[in-house]
């Protein structure tokens, strides 16, 4: 599963960690503001059951909820000029992520976007 987080520029300083019982992948995007219309998106995938987006004073937090029975996400990430890719459950990052530094082009809804604060 490839998760594309869209922004109005490059996402810098991303931090992530995994929590267990229940399984969750937490991705913090410092200095960003959420522009999503829907903060909870159900997902039908063997490893992921939902993606949640929350706005905090200093960051946007994206939480990927593991599906029942999932034991790991096997996540990889790569920034690009318009956001961040997260490859989960054995998915590969787009070829652009391997061949282009960060100025390349892009499964969440198109309205799942973030903007840098102060812009």
Nearest to 57 by CA among 27, 84, 37, 34: 34
pLDDT-derived band at 10 (thresholds 50, 70, 90) equals: confident
State which H helix or E strand residue 18 sits in: strand 15-19
**Does the pLDDT value for residue 106 go beyond 70?**
no
**C-alpha dihedral (80, 96, 89, 33), degrees to nearest 10:** 10
Tens digit of each residue's pLDDT (9 = 90 or more) over 58-95: 999 999 999 999 999 999 999 888 899 999 999 999 87
Tens digit of each residue's pLDDT (9 = 90 or more) over 13-57: 999 999 999 999 999 999 999 998 889 999 989 999 999 999 999
Residue 110 confidence (pLDDT): 38
Cβ neighbours of residue 117 under 8 Å, at least 6 residues apart? 31, 32, 33
């Amino acid at each position: 599963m490839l998760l594309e987080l869209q922004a109005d520029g490059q996402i810098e300083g991303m931090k992530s960690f995994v929590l267990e019982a229940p399984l969750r992948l937490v991705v913090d995007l410092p200095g960003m503001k959420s522009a999503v219309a829907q903060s909870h998106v159900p997902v039908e995938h063997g490893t992921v059951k939902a993606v949640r987006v929350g706005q905090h004073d200093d960051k946007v937090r994206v939480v990927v909820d593991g599906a029942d029975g999932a034991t790991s996400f096997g996540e990889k990430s790569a920034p690009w000029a318009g956001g961040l890719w997260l490859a989960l459950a054995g998915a590969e990052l787009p070829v652009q992520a391997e061949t282009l530094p960060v100025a390349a082009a892009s499964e969440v809804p198109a309205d799942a976007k973030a903007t840098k604060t102060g812009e």
